[in-house]
Amino acid sequence: MAAQWRYRGRDISEEQIRFLQQFIATHPSLSRWSLSRRLCEVWQWKQPNGTLCDALCRGLLLKLYRGGAIELPAVRGYFPKPLEQRPEPLVPDNRPVRGPLKELGRLEFQQVRRTPQEPLFNSLLEQYHYLRYQQPVGEHLKYLVSAKGQAIACLAWCSAPRHLANRDRFIGWSAEARKRNLHLLAYNTRFLILPWVQVPHLASHILGRMAKIVPCDWQRLYAHPVYWLETFIDPARFKGTCYRAANWLNLGSTTGRGHNARTKKRTQPVKELLGLPLTPRFRELLGQ
């Protein structure tokens, strides 16, 4: 049956709408949160590590509700969205860090998502990154890089954008291959060297280390590999020298229309797209 709705790359048919209507009517005592989790189980909407795609399902239900396709139970309480809860400003160790890279000693790369260090990570991005902190959706990792016990850098990685023409052409993706394998890519959504840190070549060194660390942690936490890393840079602000020094490839510029654009007119700043294959077989593995 033809799809009547589309949400985040998933087609929702009229038959599924009818199922939702009946399912909601059959479980009148469930909250919106409970409904979405129950539906994830029924539809097997799970990440490879078994985690329910709860945020995805709740977003779909809300879209269908606002579009008049289904009814939802009344909201039972107000829970602030992550973007409405700005990270609490924490006072970091801001002693100046200067000198050659070799004098920093051994760098520690700590994945801090769901750890006691996560509030510090969020606060550092909120205070010192020009885009501030933004809560990632879906699969994501957060890294705090430290030298001699002092935080010097933050990096955030999350699921990759769905449609990037330059990337898709470079990989050789068809629409179906992209749909099957998009989860095998990771997007560097934030990279911050803290402002009191001035160490030549530090940024490219960190990126080189990340290319080995991220795939291992992604496999461990999400039970699937990643074969490609990517990011955007704003050429009005940055040259992207550290990425190029770490062997990232310039894949060209974005269109400036945004991922949900309904117009061909430019609505956002044009950015450069950079990518890093993590294996020589990336085209083969991403095209399966």
Specify the CATH number for the domain of residue 116.
Answer: 3.40.630.30
- Do 48 and 172 lie in one domain? The reply is no
Domain membership of residue 83 (yes or no) is no
| CA dihedral of residues 264, 270, 272, 278 (deg, nearest 10) | -50
Answer yes or no: do 98 and 46 share one domain. Answer: no
pLDDT score at 2: 47
Asked if residue 74 is part of any domain, the answer here is: no
| pLDDT for residue 78 is more than 60 | no
Q: Which residue would you say has higher pLDDT here, 207 or 86?
A: 207
**Judgement on whether residues 99 and 61 belong to the same structural domain of the protein:** no
Among residues 66, 81, 109, which one ends one of the domains? 66
- Asked whether residue 59 is assigned to any structural domain, the reply reads yes
Residues 57 and 100 grouped into a single domain: no
Residues 169 and 26 in one domain: no
List, in sequence order, every residue forming a beta bridge with 110; answer none if it has no partner.
Answer: 144
Which tens digits make up the pLDDT trace of 26-64? 988 989 989 999 999 988 888 877 888 888 888 889 889
What token pair was written down for 250? 């310039």
Backbone angles phi, psi at 205, to 5 degrees: -65, -45
If one counts the domains in the chain, the total is 2
- Whether 82 is covered by a domain: the verdict is no
Is 107 exposed, middle or buried, given 0-12, 13-18 or 19+ CB atoms closer than 10 A? middle
Q: Report angle CA 47, 53, 59 to the nearest 5 degrees.
A: 150
109 and 204 part of one domain: yes
Residue 1 confidence class, pLDDT cut points 50, 70, 90: very low
50 and 105 belong to one structural domain: no
Check if the beta carbon of residue 177 is closer than 8 Å to that of residue 144. no
Which of 5-19, 225-239, 267-281 is the least confident region?
5-19
pLDDT in tens, 100-137: 999 999 999 999 999 999 999 999 999 999 999 998 87
Lowest-confidence pick of 52-61, 78-87, 88-97, 246-255:
78-87
131, 16: one domain: no
Last residue of a domain, one of 19, 50, 66: 66
- Are residue 52 and residue 187 in the same domain, yes or no? no
Average pLDDT of the chain to the nearest whole number = 90
Mean pLDDT of 51-79: 84
| pTM of structure | 0.77
- How far apart are the C-alpha atoms of 233 and 239, rounded to whole Å? 8
The sign of the CA dihedral 234, 240, 242, 244 is positive
CB atoms within 10 A of CB 135: 14
State the residue range of the domain holding 52.
3-66
pLDDT in tens, 190-239: 999 999 999 999 999 999 999 999 999 999 999 999 999 999 999 999 99
Residue 138 has pLDDT above 90, yes or no: no
Q: How far, CA to CA in Å, does 142 sit from each of 42, 44, 78, 90, 114? A: 31, 27, 27, 17, 9
Residue 81 lies in a domain: no
Whether 184 is covered by a domain: the verdict is yes
Residues 22 and 139 in one domain: no
Of 87-96, 140-149, 150-159, give the lowest mean pLDDT range. Answer: 87-96
In a domain, 87, yes or no: no
Tell me the two tokens of residue 201: 């070549």
Secondary structure letter of residue 103 according to DSSP: G
Structure tokens that stand for 243 in this block: 């990425």
Structure tokens at 111: 């994945």
Q: How far apart are CA 36 and CA 45, in angstroms?
A: 10
What tokens appear for 247 in the block?
Answer: 């062997």
Say yes or no: 127 and 176 in one domain: yes
In a domain, 126, yes or no: yes
At 220, list the tokens. Answer: 């461990």
